[in-house]
């Protein structure tokens, strides 16, 4: 990515020179949509149409390869005077501190973005250098592939490096943006890309393309952005964000709906000045230099700080109880879903709750007897987490319902959650004090599992809501469940 830095007209691009160069680019990057494979156009017309290919955006850099360096470095030789500082907290989390001393991210990941201009990348060395993620250029405009994309994709997958992709946009209207989106989806489909932890980024910058004009107002950009996002969503890709730079966001892209979709912002200063709107709830990315120095990459590379992703939809800045979700992931209590999401706002069902409780208890050895397998009339060998449900019953953590069912697909509500956690702890002796019995405005002696709710509160496992309620019949959502389980594990000495 190349962008202006607090300047309205400083982008630099390579250009297509003449019809021969244009034809060469076509051979390398793919046939433009305007040309059929079997064309009846005259050579003169074909050359003219082929020449209408946008230039390949590039960087201007200098610097030697880091191959053979005794100690890999993430920064360029310019030092830290013009960029933020990376630190480590007491728990080993990466902290990014701005030049003014303020923390940008208290739990960050180092991310680079690469294209064919970085040439061949040694991804093993990149990972050893301390890089936590990469954003790969997929291409630019329509059907203009980055010639190193497939190689880079194979490289990050081989070393297990979290990655995202980006498309440099040349859209001047909504139809062009739709075609860009379909091009991105086609490439994602072609390579089976469903394993990108980081988003698909729509790179919106001021561009130069002979015979075409870039949009100059937010009113012109809004339908472009809408078309790109909506088209990708129809193709099944919703993990999408906008990338741009400060000046462009404050002028050409200054629309609430665009800013709400913008996650990655370039500003090459020691301090980050962009104000994310409250409508944006994702990970924040700050691209702070285009002169990063990374072992395994020839020349300079863009470097960024992102709030660390735990899952696609969980980050350490804006997701409630992200640290608890991260704890669950780290100890194997949850693996999330196959699409790399955790779905923090989804409700918890009883069969999944059984699995979570079993794992928090340390996954004890358990082989159900024939009688235990008959405990619930609606739980059989084919029920997801059947063994964990039978363990839950054998351990006295659940009794099921009076009709002999467990109802594995029922949602777990907060009063039942309290009972599960109390029994998981061994049903310790507990008599609530008068003060504890008034802890929540909506919990009294007649509330089902009132004692267990008060016990959870007395031991810091549940804190309730800011209005003084517990909301016992509310369903438990997955982000809150993570907090309950982590606190219960601490109480039980399992964390």
- Does residue 307 share a domain with residue 332? no
Look at residues 315, 343, 377 and tell me which one is the last residue of a structural domain: 315
Name the 3-class secondary structure at 460: coil
In a domain, 106, yes or no: yes
Please state the domain count of the chain. Answer: 2
Burial readout 187-214 (b: 16 or more C-beta within 10 A, e: otherwise): bbeebebeebbbbbbbbbbbbbbeeeeb
- Does residue 391 share a domain with residue 260? no
- Does residue 398 share a domain with residue 368? yes
- Does residue 345 share a domain with residue 304? no
* Among 133, 235, 247, 121, residue whose Cα is nearest residue 178: 235
Check if the beta carbon of residue 111 is closer than 8 Å to that of residue 99: no
- Does residue 114 share a domain with residue 133? yes
pLDDT at position 495 is: 72
> For each of the chain's 495 residues, which pLDDT tens digit applies?
655 444 333 333 333 334 334 334 343 333 333 333 333 333 433 333 455 889 999 752 223 333 333 333 343 333 334 578 999 998 899 999 999 999 999 999 999 999 999 999 999 999 999 999 999 999 999 999 999 999 999 999 999 999 999 999 999 999 999 999 999 999 999 999 999 999 999 999 999 999 999 999 999 999 999 999 999 999 999 999 999 999 999 999 999 999 999 999 999 989 999 999 999 989 999 999 998 999 999 989 999 999 999 999 999 999 999 999 999 999 999 999 999 999 999 999 999 999 999 999 999 999 999 999 999 999 999 999 999 999 999 999 999 999 999 999 999 999 999 999 999 999 999 999 999 999 999 999 999 999 999 999 999 999 999 999 999 999 999 999 999 999 999 999 887
pLDDT at position 33 is: 35
**Which two tokens mark 26?**
């076509």
Q: How many alpha carbons lie under 13 Å from residue 352 in its C-beta half-sphere?
A: 20
- Does residue 307 share a domain with residue 328? no
Residue 135 backbone phi and psi in degrees, to 5: -115, 120
Gyration radius from the chain CA atoms: 27
In a domain, 269, yes or no: yes
Give the single-character DSSP code of 404: S
In a domain, 24, yes or no: no
Look at residues 291, 315, 339 and tell me which one is the last residue of a structural domain: 315
pLDDT at position 10 is: 35
- Sign, CA dihedral 256-247-2-51, equals positive
In a domain, 55, yes or no: no
- Does residue 173 share a domain with residue 70? yes
Check if the beta carbon of residue 315 is closer than 8 Å to that of residue 111: no
- Does residue 340 share a domain with residue 300? no
pLDDT at position 82 is: 57
pLDDT at position 51 is: 58
- Does residue 226 share a domain with residue 283? yes
Look at residues 315, 335, 351 and tell me which one is the last residue of a structural domain: 315
- Does residue 428 share a domain with residue 326? yes
pLDDT at position 289 is: 92
**Which two tokens mark 159?**
């070393």
Helix, strand, coil shares of the chain, percent, nearest 5, are 30, 15, 55
pTM value? Answer: 0.83
Report how far apart, in Å, the C-alpha atoms of 464 and of each of 251, 422, 432, 442 are: 43, 16, 17, 10
- Does residue 254 share a domain with residue 217? yes
Instruction: Sort 256 into a burial class: Cβ within 10 Å, 0-12 / 13-18 / 19+.
Output: exposed
Kindly provide the residue ranges of all beta strands, DSSP E only, lying in 141-284, ordered along the sequence: 144-145, 163-168, 200-203, 240-245, 262-266
Please tell me the distance from the alpha carbon of residue 18 to that of residue 5, in angstroms, as a whole number.
31
In a domain, 232, yes or no: yes
Domain residues for 183?
60-315
**Which two tokens mark 377?**
């009339």
Which helix (H) or strand (E) segment is 415 a member of?
helix 414-424
pLDDT at position 171 is: 97
pLDDT at position 52 is: 81
In a domain, 352, yes or no: yes
In a domain, 264, yes or no: yes
pLDDT at position 59 is: 52
């Amino acid at each position: 990515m190349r962008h202006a830095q607090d300047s309205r007209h400083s982008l630099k691009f390579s250009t297509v020179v003449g019809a021969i160069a244009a034809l060469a680019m076509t051979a390398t990057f793919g046939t433009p949509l305007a040309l059929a494979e079997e064309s009846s156009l005259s050579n003169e017309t074909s050359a003219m149409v082929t020449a209408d290919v946008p230039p390949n955006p590039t960087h201007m850099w200098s610097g030697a390869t880091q191959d053979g360096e005794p100690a890999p470095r993430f920064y360029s030789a310019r030092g830290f005077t013009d960029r933020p500082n990376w630190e480590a907290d007491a728990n080993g989390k990466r902290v990014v501190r701005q030049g003014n001393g303020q923390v940008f991210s208290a739990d960050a990941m180092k991310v680079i973005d690469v294209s064919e201009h970085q040439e061949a990348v040694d991804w093993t060395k990149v990972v050893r250098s301390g890089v936590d993620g990469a954003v790969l250029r997929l291409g630019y405009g329509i059907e203009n592939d980055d010639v190193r994309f497939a190689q880079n994709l194979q490289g990050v997958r081989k070393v297990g490096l979290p990655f995202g992709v980006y498309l440099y946009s040349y859209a001047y209207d909504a139809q062009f943006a739709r075609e860009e989106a379909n091009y991105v989806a086609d490439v994602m489909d072609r390579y089976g890309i469903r394993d990108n932890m980081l988003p698909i980024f729509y790179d919106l910058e001021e561009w130069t393309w002979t015979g075409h004009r870039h949009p100059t107002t937010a009113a012109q950009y809004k339908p472009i952005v809408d078309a790109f996002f909506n088209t990708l969503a129809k193709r099944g890709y919703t993990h999408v964000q906008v990338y741009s730079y400060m000046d462009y966001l404050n002028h050409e892209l200054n629309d609430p709906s665009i800013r709400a979709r913008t996650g990655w912002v370039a500003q090459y200063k020691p301090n980050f000045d962009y104000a994310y709107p409250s409508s944006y709830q994702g990970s924040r990315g700050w691209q702070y230099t285009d002169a990063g120095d990374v072992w395994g990459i020839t020349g300079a590379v863009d470097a960024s700080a992102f709030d660390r992703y735990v899952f696609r939809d969980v980050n350490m800045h804006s997701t409630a109880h992200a640290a608890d979700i991260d704890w669950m992931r780290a100890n194997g209590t949850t693996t999330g879903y196959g699409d790399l999401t955790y779905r923090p706002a989804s409700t918890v069902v009883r069969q999944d709750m059984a699995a979570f409780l079993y794992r928090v208890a340390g996954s004890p050895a358990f082989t159900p007897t024939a009688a235990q397998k008959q405990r619930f009339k609606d739980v059989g060998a084919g029920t997801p987490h059947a063994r964990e449900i039978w363990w839950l019953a054998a351990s006295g953590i659940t009794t099921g319902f009076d009709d002999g069912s467990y109802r594995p697909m029922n949602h777990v509500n907060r009063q039942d959650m309290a009972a599960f956690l109390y029994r998981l702890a061994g049903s310790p002796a507990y008599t609530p004090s008068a003060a504890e019995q008034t802890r929540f405005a909506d919990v009294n002696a007649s509330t089902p599992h009132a004692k267990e709710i008060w016990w959870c509160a007395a031991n810091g496992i549940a804190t309730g809501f800011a209005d003084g309620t517990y909301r016992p019949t509310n369903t438990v959502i997955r982000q809150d469940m993570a907090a309950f389980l982590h606190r219960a594990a601490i109480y039980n000495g399992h964390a």
